């Protein structure tokens, strides 16, 4: 557990964020290997199926991710205020909520996988593989939610290194099983899905064993949990807007896939692969934003608001520099990177167009996430939710539809940075208003930031 209320702001945030970044690099490397194996050993239809499955998975898990973020903020603020009893009650309540949420996700995810693909107009040759992949994936929901819940709690306590270790082991296991099931045993797309849930289960049970031996405050004791209804309501107030925001983002991704699907299997496969490459740029900004949220939560809880602005500035400088580097790589080496995933030249060319257009504007995305992180750390998640809805559903999706009708598939790609630009503008205006400062759980007289 790490105290983020003392020491140099930029150094603390960097040290806290980097284990999460390393963990996500491993996770993204798994996704890359997974896509390479699928693209070369199964085909572009399977590659399109996995890509089409992602927004469906994201839609189901988003609400739970939001609740976890709510508890992360609660835990970080109470930990900053040194109220360990409330910290323990928040941890217990988190475990209970995530368990029942995982059951819900399993039922919904396995029951409605194929119909949703039919609804979005996924090509007939892709639907069977996409439905099979999704059904198997959601059978492991309890492991996915459990591990991510434990990681969220640890981050609230200032520990981002322990989840990294578990994630690295899980990722290496996933890659090895992927190669075994798909390349050696020839299980097809089902093998890729089985590899994922087995590795997630291993990470979850390893985390439980570790916590029971090393961190009594997070002890996993299935029969002795205390459910705090007041903390649950608070987590809903803070986390539900974020969860709903992510659900609307996922629904938007499904809607966008509905537009992309009209251009055929090659375009779907290219979009899926380009998103894999895209994720390396976005995940760094998202991890630094998560670190900043915990930093803001602890410092507001400790009544040190003057450190928040310094933390924001340091985080923005780091993420902006790396975003510009990723933009340069996407523009110069887009075709080369696409070629790693598939030998299909049509898929490579379409994906390169995406990377050149979208990759040029990564700094808009990273800046939007970093500024949003300050509000979330303070406990204000409602307005960021509305801003996301506006930038996605009022700007990006209509722009995708209209531009695609006039200039083809590249119109969908141009709509992405347009949405980011509007979202960043609205987010920064709200940050300058200062209204988010009043949303802290721990009330202090000193509020100016």
* C-alpha dist (Å) from residue 366 to 73, 143, 181, 271, 277: 21, 30, 36, 20, 16
Q: pLDDT band at 449, cuts 50/70/90?
A: very low
H/E element, 279: helix 265-301
- Asked if 88 contacts 231 with a C-beta cutoff of 8 angstroms, the reply is no
What's the rounded mean pLDDT across residues 230-259?
Answer: 80
How many helices (H) does the chain have, and how many strands (E)?
A: 16, 0
Q: Using one digit for the tens of pLDDT, what is the confidence trace for 64-107?
A: 767 777 777 788 778 877 888 888 888 888 888 888 889 988 99
Q: Report pLDDT for 448.
A: 45
Q: What is the pLDDT of residues 163-179, one digit of tens each?
A: 878 888 888 898 899 89
Tokens of 25: 């690099």
6: left (phi over 0), alpha (psi -120 to 50) or beta: beta
- Least-confidence region, from 24-38, 173-187, 259-273: 24-38
Summarised one tens digit per residue, pLDDT across range 48-70 is: 888 888 788 877 777 676 777 77
| Residues 6 or more apart in contact with residue 383 via CB below 8 angstroms | 375, 430, 435, 436
Tokens matching residue 26: 């491993």
**What local confidence, expressed as pLDDT, does residue 1 receive?**
56
CA distance 342 to 309: 45
The first and second tokens of residue 337, run together, are 């990177």
From 250, 271, 252, 276, select the one nearest 261 (Cα to Cα).
Answer: 271
What integer pLDDT is reported at residue 279 of this predicted model?
Answer: 81
Nearest to 97 by CA among 212, 234, 248: 234
pLDDT category at 447 given cuts 50, 70, 90 is very low
In this prediction, residue 340 has a pLDDT band, given cuts at 50, 70 and 90, of confident
- Percent of the chain with pLDDT strictly greater than 90: 33
Task: Write out pLDDT tens, residues 346-362.
Answer: 999 999 999 999 999 99
Whether the predicted pLDDT of 229 surpasses 80: yes
Share of the chain above pLDDT 70, in %: 93
- Contact (CB, 8 A) for 44 and 265: yes
Q: How crowded is residue 82: how many other Cβ atoms within 10 Å of its Cβ?
A: 11
Token representation of residue 303: 């009544």
More confident: 211 or 47 = 47
List pLDDT tens digits, range 283-299.
888 889 988 988 888 88
Question: What tens digit of pLDDT does each residue of 365-396 get?
Answer: 999 999 999 988 888 878 888 888 899 999 99
């Amino acid at each position: 557990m790490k105290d983020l209320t003392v020491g140099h702001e930029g150094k603390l945030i960097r040290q806290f964020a980097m284990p999460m970044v390393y963990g996500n690099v491993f996770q993204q490397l798994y996704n890359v290997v997974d896509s390479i194996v699928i693209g070369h050993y199964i085909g572009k239809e399977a590659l399109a199926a996995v890509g089409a499955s992602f927004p469906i998975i994201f839609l189901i898990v988003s609400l739970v991710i939001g609740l976890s973020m709510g508890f992360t903020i609660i835990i970080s603020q109470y930990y900053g205020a040194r109220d360990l009893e409330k910290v323990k009650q928040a941890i217990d309540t988190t475990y209970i909520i995530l368990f029942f949420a995982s059951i819900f996700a399993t039922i919904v995810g396995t029951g409605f996988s194929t119909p949703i693909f039919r609804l979005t107009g996924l090509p007939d040759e892709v639907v069977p593989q996409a439905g099979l992949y999704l059904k198997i994936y959601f059978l492991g929901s309890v492991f996915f939610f459990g591990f991510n819940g434990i990681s969220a709690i640890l981050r609230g306590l200032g520990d981002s290194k322990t989840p990294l270790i578990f994630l690295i082991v899980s990722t290496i296991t996933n890659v090895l099983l992927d190669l075994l099931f798909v390349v050696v045993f020839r299980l097809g797309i089902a093998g890729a899905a089985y590899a994922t849930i087995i590795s997630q289960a291993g990470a979850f049970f390893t985390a439980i064993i570790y916590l029971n031996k090393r961190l009594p405050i997070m002890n996993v004791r299935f029969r002795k949990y205390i459910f705090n209804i007041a903390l649950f309501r608070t987590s809903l107030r803070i986390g539900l807007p974020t969860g709903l925001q992510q659900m609307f983002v996922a629904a938007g991704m499904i809607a966008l896939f509905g537009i992309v699907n009209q251009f055929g299997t090659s375009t779907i496969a290219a979009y899926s692969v380009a998103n894999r490459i895209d994720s390396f740029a976005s995940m760094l900004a998202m991890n630094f934003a998560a670190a900043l949220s915990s930093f803001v939560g602890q410092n507001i809880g400790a009544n040190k608001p003057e450190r928040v602005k310094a933390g924001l500035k340091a985080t923005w400088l780091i993420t902006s520099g790396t975003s510009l580097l990723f933009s340069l790589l996407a523009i110069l080496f887009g075709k080369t990177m696409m070629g790693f995933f598939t030998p299909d030249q049509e898929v490579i060319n379409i994906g390169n167009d995406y990377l050149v257009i979208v990759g040029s504007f990564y700094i808009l995305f990273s800046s939007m996430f970093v500024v949003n992180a300050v509000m979330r750390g303070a406990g204000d998640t409602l307005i960021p939710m509305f801003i996301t809805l506006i930038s996605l559903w009022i700007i990006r999706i209509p722009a995708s539809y209209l531009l695609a009708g006039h200039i083809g598939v590249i119109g969908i790609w141009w709509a992405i940075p347009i949405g980011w630009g509007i979202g960043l503008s609205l987010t920064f205006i709200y940050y300058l208003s200062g209204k988010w400062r009043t949303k802290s759980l721990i009330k202090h007289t000193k509020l100016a930031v």
